A and B are shown apart, each in its own frame.
Chain A
Amino acid sequence: MKKSGAEILIECMKREGVKHIFGYPGGVVLNIFDTLYDDKEIELILTRHEQGAVHAADGYARASGKVGVALVTSGPGATNTVTGIANASMDSIPMVVFSGQVPTLLIGNDAFQEADIVGITRPCTKHNYLVKDIKDLARVIREAFHIASTGRPGPVLIDLPKDVTAGSTEFIWPEEIKLRGYNPTYQGNKYMINQAAQMIAHAKKPVIMAGGGVVSSGAWKELKELAELAGIPVTMTLMGLGGFPGTHKLSLGMLGMHGTFYANTAVQNADLIIGIGVRFDDRVTGRTNAFAPNAKILQIDIDPTSIKKNIRADLPVVGDVKNVLKDLLKAAKELKGQQWDAVRSSWLKQIESWKRERPLSYQPVENVIKPEFVVEKIYEVTKGEAIICTEVGQNQMWSAQFYKYDYPRRWLSSGGLGTMGYGFPAAIGAQFACPDKVVFDIAGDGSIQMNIQELATAVIHKLPVKVAILNNGYLGMVRQWQELFFRERYSHTELESGNPDFVKVAEAYGAVGLRATKPSEVEPVIRESMKIKNKPVFLDFVVDWKEKVFPMVPAGAAIDEMIFEEMEEKKEKKLKAVK
């Protein structure tokens, strides 16, 4: 049967299981929007900015594990997606972005709203396509969903010239996918895995470093089993949070620049680092030649380029993390006469004493809301069950430190790109994916203004997304660096004088706005927001602007060269606001 390009597109999406598309219309995608108009199975969610659409698709993907889908027009619509695509690419999020393009005959002529989006997104997609012939359309869509969701996941962009979606052809669903250049390695090498088991058995002071790969491969059960079997403490990268229960006694929390004292110290004293689905990003390693100086490194990852990119690897195992961990568990259990408890007890005791020595903490002050306190309260009120999205900056780090993530796919944060403006649209996407879960975006007053227009999207769809703004009146994280490393010269980081009244902004959009200015108001306000089931809520927490994120590893330092709060306090600086 003949179908139009737009109908083929919709049909293929259905076969790929797509239920929600986040998008924004324009001239060259009118055919597609027109076809969607009557469709009962696929819902298009109109965001208020294409960046919002892509982040929403990203949040949808992170929360559900499914491929997120966005649809935008050519030119500015397409270029507006670039940040969102780059963000998904850095964090390995499965996503397919459809962009409209000018008709094939006009491509290259600087036609109205033409942009070479395939060229622009080449370095920030896993793969991308320009469909020049409608006969290729179904195959390309099939390949795109396959590429986005398999191997190390990532975003794929498909550029659709107007004549391709407007034209028509015989629809043939390609049953088979033939990509001779794409064969991810799913099974780890048996020999290497046996070696790995030996390595773990012989290690006296091992640490597991779990990353986003644990979450994306769905390997949390296997990871927990391995850690418990072999008595290995687990630290997580920002992307790995939730891959191992944060409240587990073997959890060390996050490591790296704002990692816990005990995680960073354990890594630096370890004799074996087991990197699982991590790429040893510089925010995690600190100065690379001083990273885990006494440790052998065992690295498990599906992407061979993640291995030996930044950090040596004594034993690499390429494969899907879940499969490799299964095999590794089997190999570890078969080790004869291995007394795990006996070999580990002194190391675990040492870890416990580091945990006691310096837990994560902050100094409460009377009548001033500490941002950490807000995060703690959100944790308490939501019983650790919420999906937490974050923006970028101090808000993100406090959310990583003071909320304990016991479940995977409930921590949605822009890791690799560090994109301010990610959290709110991601929360909207997550709420679509998980309508029954409580979704928070823990935001900064700077970041929230980068995609604040999505309030309209959340209001229209009656989404009870909660945005907790840790309102410190500054681009806080940058201000922190200025305070510590630029002699308190707050060059262009003051926001308060220009900040809107966030409660009124929320109300103007038809959402609910709540405010807390005293510690005693924090919990009631959070509880109040939990009662609202059909509207987004902005919670404006006016917090201590002086608060900084600690511990902190300065740029270029080893990760055990941490700065702590009291070291800064001793300097008795007189902090002045620029206001």
Chain B
Amino acid sequence: MRHTISVLVENKFGVLSRVSGLFSGRGYNIESLSVGETIDPSTSVMTIVTTGDDLVVEQITKQLNKLIDVIKVTDYMEVDHVEREMVLIKVAPRKDDRTEVLQLTEIFRGRIVDSGPTTYTIEITGNEDKITAFIELIKPFGIKEFVRTGKVAIAREGVKKK
């Protein structure tokens, strides 16, 4: 099973390597990891997407909690939440395809953030399904470069346990 885990940590040097070292040292895998400061500059949030059976994910959250610099761990599998990820895609469509690329971007509510003589750079934000769908559709037009931020997640208000 795939889990999105959010880890509230002390915003100190070395914390990222404590967390990533925990994953590599214990053989857990990280599909994506994104880190950023919260509104309180003394803390950061790491959003980690990982896979594993229930026992493994239970160990992961416990091991994370055990780190002194970790303040709070939330496994979003158990919480109603919103997830987003952003990708930047540089496409180089043939001349006749350019309009179609623009239309697709529009349909997915993406934005063209840069364009060159032969390329567009598209920004797409959404959940995983949307991003995967968009990538599949845009692939045939020729993706030159592609970066994704990794997922971030936040609980819905009036957090309900699922």
Q: Do A and B come from one complex?
A: yes
- Give A contacts to B, CB under 8 Å: 118-119, 122-123, 126-127, 130, 147, 179-182, 303-305, 308-309
Does B21 contact A123, Cβ atoms closer than 8 Å? yes
Q: In the complex, A567 Cα to B154 Cα: how many Å? A: 63
Tell me which residues across on chain A come within 8 A of B25, comparing CB atoms. Answer: 123
Distance of A564 Cα from B18 Cα, bound (Å): 45
- CB contact list, B107-142 vs A, under 8 A: none
- Chain A residues in 8 Å Cβ range of B10: 180-181
B68 touches A122 (CB 8 A): no
Tell me the minimal C-beta distance from A31 to chain B in angstroms: 24
* Docked CA distance A87–B120 (Å): 56
| Given A119-B17, A180-B71, residue A304 in contact with residue B55 (CB < 8 A) | no
Chain A, Cβ-Cβ closest to B55: A308
What separation, in Å, do the CA atoms of A504 and B43 have in the docked complex?
61
When chains A and B are docked, how far (Å) is the Cα of A122 from the Cα of B22? 9
B62 interfacial contact with A, CB 8 Å: yes
Count B interface residues, CB 8 Å: 20
Q: How far is the CA of A185 from the CA of B14 in the complex (A)?
A: 26
Q: Is the CB of B63 within 8 A of A181?
A: no
**Total A-B pairs in contact (CB under 8 Å)?**
36
Q: Which residues of A contact B9 (CB under 8 A)?
A: 181
Given contacts A118-B14, A123-B21, A181-B10, contact A308 B67 (CB under 8 A): no
Q: Which of A122, A126, A181, A309 contacts B21 (CB 8 A)?
A: A122
Is B51 interfacial (CB-CB < 8 Å)?
Answer: no
* Contact A181-B71, Cβ < 8 Å, known A122-B18, A123-B21, A304-B65: yes
**Could you list 19 A-B pairs, sorted by A, with CB under 8 Å?**
A119-B17, A122-B14, A122-B17, A122-B18, A123-B25, A126-B68, A127-B68, A179-B68, A180-B10, A181-B9, A181-B71, A182-B68, A303-B66, A304-B62, A305-B59, A305-B62, A308-B55, A308-B58, A308-B59
How many angstroms from the CA of A179 to the CA of B69 in the assembled complex? 8
Other-chain contact of B68, A147, A304, A305, A309 (Cβ < 8 Å): A147
Which A-chain residue is minimally distant from B67 (CB atoms)? A181
Contact A305 B55 (CB under 8 A): no
CA distance A179 to B12 in the complex (A): 13
Q: Which residues of B contact A182 (CB under 8 A)?
A: 68
- CB-CB under 8 A from B21, the residues of chain A are 122-123
Binary interface encoding of chain B residues 4-21 relative to chain A, with 1 for a CB under 8 A from any of its CBs, else 0: 000001100010011001
When distances are taken between beta carbons in the complex, the residues of chain A under 8 Å from B67 are: 181
Distance, CA A147 to CA B66, complexed state (A): 11
Say yes or no: A181 contacts B62, CB within 8 Å: no
Check B49 for interface membership: any CB of A closer than 8 A. no
Cα distance A127–B65 in the bound complex, in angstroms? 13
Write the chain B residue with the least CB distance to A118: B14
